[in-house]
Structure 1
């Protein structure tokens, strides 16, 4: 996937394209890492690259449940666990889950076809605004873009702390960009 979203013909297409781009960028932070490096927590926080990607998949899955009006419960232990790769869980497992969630999000949004479609807000959780009665699909997509972009930044910092790699050299390596005087594709340290 190129470094920027392509031409956008309508708002729904644009929102879905930018969400797909942010998913790609957060996933890219795992490029070339070993299982141990994916689980490493080298910064001041408890965040790991693998855990951040898993959290993004889980967050989008939860918002998909909101769009579908499926009952949800707040499970703080599950929330904490979503920031860590479980024993035996691979990044490929997380990527497969994220792909399924992304496909279902896009399918649901396209089927609804109305960015103004309203979904009642669950006021039983403390982080949902009490002064509003509903979300729209537009708001949810913008929120998912914001949330995924925020965590892509976290993943960049964690990844850089693991092995010094940063986003554009990783993208260049993953996509086979040629070396230029101003950008060298990432290479694993030997």
Structure 2
């Protein structure tokens, strides 16, 4: 159930569980969208639900590359480009890629003995501090949770602007909750 993370036995499990929950919450904002709605930008922002799915996947891979010392995929992309959908991007492909990035993160973090391990602070972007040499893996995981949660909130607003759907109704539909007097699972509007 995505409304709450189950009890966790330790810090590592908790951090990964909250990160996974926020990924799923973002996917719920896309639940039932058409390909056209996936690309829609109905708010004052230029963001779309699909663009947010693509961005958080790209960003998570970049941070995990910093953690593992691997090549940083973000270094060859202009900022903002990772929000742009191509003709090949579909709801199914974006969710599959987000799920793959999550599995990659879990595998990378499982291979790290100490969440206090240093992660060098990049010096190539103005938003990174110049007076800090390294963060910890723990800090990176907390930052990824924050990043996912921020963009899940954006996606909620965009989704509600598209068809009025809200998170609880979408979650209820995705998880097949029974209808109650106060909660109705989302259903696509019937075409007239």
Whether the TM-score (by the shorter chain) exceeds 0.5 is yes
Residue 23 of structure 1 deviates from its aligned partner by: 0.2
Following the alignment from structure 2 to structure 1, what is the Cα–Cα distance between the partners of residues 113 and 76?
31
Asked if structure 1 preserves the Cα contact closer than 8 Å seen for 2:50 and 2:91, the reply is yes
Alignment RMSD: 1.2
Residue 75 of structure 1 deviates from its aligned partner by: 4.2
Q: How many residue pairs get matched?
A: 189
Written as runs of structure 1 = structure 2, the 5 A alignment for 1:152-163 is: 152-163=152-163
Residue 152 of structure 1 deviates from its aligned partner by: 0.2
Query: Within the alignment, does 1:49 sit opposite 2:76 as a pair?
Result: no
Residue 175 of structure 1 deviates from its aligned partner by: 0.5
Following the alignment from structure 1 to structure 2, what is the Cα–Cα distance between the partners of residues 88 and 100?
17
Residue 27 of structure 1 deviates from its aligned partner by: 0.8
- Give the aligned partner of residue 131 of structure 1: 131
TM-score of the superposition, structure 1-length normalised? 0.95
TM-score of the superposition, structure 2-length normalised? 0.94
SS at match of 1:135: strand
Residue 69 of structure 1 deviates from its aligned partner by: 1.1
Deviations 1:5-46 (A, max 9, x none): 001110110000000000000011110010000000000010
Asked if structure 2 preserves the Cα contact closer than 8 Å seen for 1:74 and 1:125, the reply is no
Following the alignment from structure 2 to structure 1, what is the Cα–Cα distance between the partners of residues 64 and 97?
13
Following the alignment from structure 1 to structure 2, what is the Cα–Cα distance between the partners of residues 2 and 49?
19
SS at match of 1:119: strand
Residue 71 of structure 1 deviates from its aligned partner by: 3.6
Would you identify which runs of 4 or more consecutive aligned residues in structure 1 move more than 2 Å? 70-77
Written as runs of structure 1 = structure 2, the 5 A alignment for 1:15-54 is: 15-54=15-54
Following the alignment from structure 1 to structure 2, what is the Cα–Cα distance between the partners of residues 173 and 105?
28
Following the alignment from structure 1 to structure 2, what is the Cα–Cα distance between the partners of residues 91 and 85?
10
Written as runs of structure 1 = structure 2, the 5 A alignment for 1:38-117 is: 38-72=38-72, 74-77=75-78, 79-117=79-117
Following the alignment from structure 1 to structure 2, what is the Cα–Cα distance between the partners of residues 187 and 21?
23
SS at match of 1:188: coil
Structure 2: where are the runs of 5+ without partners? none
